[in-house]
Structures are given as C-alpha cells and as structure tokens.
Amino acid sequence: MLALDVTDDANVKAAAVAYGKTGDTLDVLVNNAGVATGGYAVPSEASLDDMRAVYEVNVFGPVRVTHAFLPFLSKAGQGRIVMMSSSLGSIAEQLDMTSGTYGVNLLGYNSSKSALNMITVSLAKELAAHGIKVNAANPGYVATDLNKHQGYRTVEQGAAIAVHLATLGPMGPTAGFFNDGTEATIGRHAW
C-alpha cells in the first residue's frame, strides 16, 4: 500500500516512483479522493480559502495523480481512469428545479465537480489514442464521512459504477458521466 496526499506534488511523484519499482503497468486508476470543505455556506459568503482547499483535492488532485501515473496506464495498453464526480457537478441538474439536488448550492464543491467533468472529457479525448478510457462516475447520495452518513445509498451501491467503469471492455464508452452500477440500470448522467 502507498500513502498518497493528492495535494502534494512531491508526495504524488514519490508514490509513482515507488509504484514503478513494483511493476511498469497500471490497469486502473480511480481518482476517488474528495472533500467538501466549507460545508453549506451560501455562495455569496463562501470563503476563497475553503474553495481553494476543495479545488486542491477535487480538481488539481485528480490531474496531479493522473499525470504521475499516466506512463503506467499507457503501458498497460487499455488503461481505465475513473473520476469520482457527483450529480452536484451537473450544470443541467443544478438548473432543473424538479431535481432533488436543486437546493444543494455549494459554490466550491459543485463547481469543483463540474470542472472535474470537463477534465474527464479533455483527458479522454487525448488518451483515446493510447487505448485509455476516462469516465466520470456519479455514486449517488452515499452514507459516508463526507455527509456525516446522511446518504441513503450504501458504499457498495455507490462504488458499483466506479467498478463498472474501471473494468470496461474495448468497446466501452469514454468521455462519459454515468450513474448506477449494473448493466441493467446504468445510465448516462446529464452533464
């Protein structure tokens, strides 16, 4: 096991070097780390320091880790990258007054996941030539430390979509945003 602080350049680079000593390929990278520093402050009162802290983990973290581990994913020939996003990052859903999350208006967290969605598309477009698929996963509202275990989905239910996207075959999608975890229920989420 490798300890990793996704906000720390040197630490992430050192982790990649240490990983390289154990092998030279990586099949799957799940960028799961996420924070919601600042909680439920209204947007007009959200602190920039909180917002920076959220972006360091939720936006720059996945880019930093992806850059560091990309050589191993490329060598794998069919690497898979999963970005743990959120329905709160969906601009379409945030504008939909009938959506259950319409009122969850978190300036830092929501915009960080919107940025992560575009990062997903951007990386997917470049990395398709290397056989690497990059997709964003919406786990739904899962009972974890992030929401003080208020979520109504289990960790297993939330993780299922990430597992699905991590194990896509060669004909699977890339540059997508998906929710739910089984072949029967999987669906594209509105960006």
Q: Which residues of this protein are in contact with ligand NAP, per CB under 6 A?
A: 4-7, 32-35, 57, 84, 86, 139, 141-142, 144-147, 151
Residue 183 has a CB neighbour count (10 Å cut-off) of 7
3-class SS letters over 118-130:
HHHHHHHHHHHHH
Q: Which is nearer to ligand NAP, 131 or 151 (CB)?
A: 151
Whose Cβ is closer to ligand NAP: residue 130's or residue 153's? Answer: 153
The residue sitting closest to ligand NAP, measured at its beta carbon, is: 34
| DSSP for the chain, written as a single string | -----TT-HHHHHHHHHHHHTT-S--SEEEE-----TTTT--GGG--HHHHHHHHIIIIIHHHHHHHHHHHHHHHHSS-EEEEE--GGG-HHHHT-TTSTTTT---HHHHHHHHHHHHHHHHHHHHHGGGT-EEEEEE--SB-SGGGTT--SB-HHHHHHHHHHHHT--TTS--S-EEE-SSTTT-EEPP-
Q: Which is nearer to ligand NAP, 86 or 117 (CB)?
A: 86
Q: How far is the CB of 104 from ligand NAP (least distance, A)?
A: 10
13 is catalytic: no
Complex with ligand NAP: residue 7 or 74, whichever CB lies closer: 7
Shortest Å distance, C-beta 73 to ligand NAP: 19
Catalytic residue among 19, 55, 109, 125: 109
* Residue 113 a catalytic site member: yes
Q: Which of 113, 125, 141, 152 is catalytic?
A: 113
CB of 186 to ligand NAP, least distance (A): 16
Active site residues: 109, 113
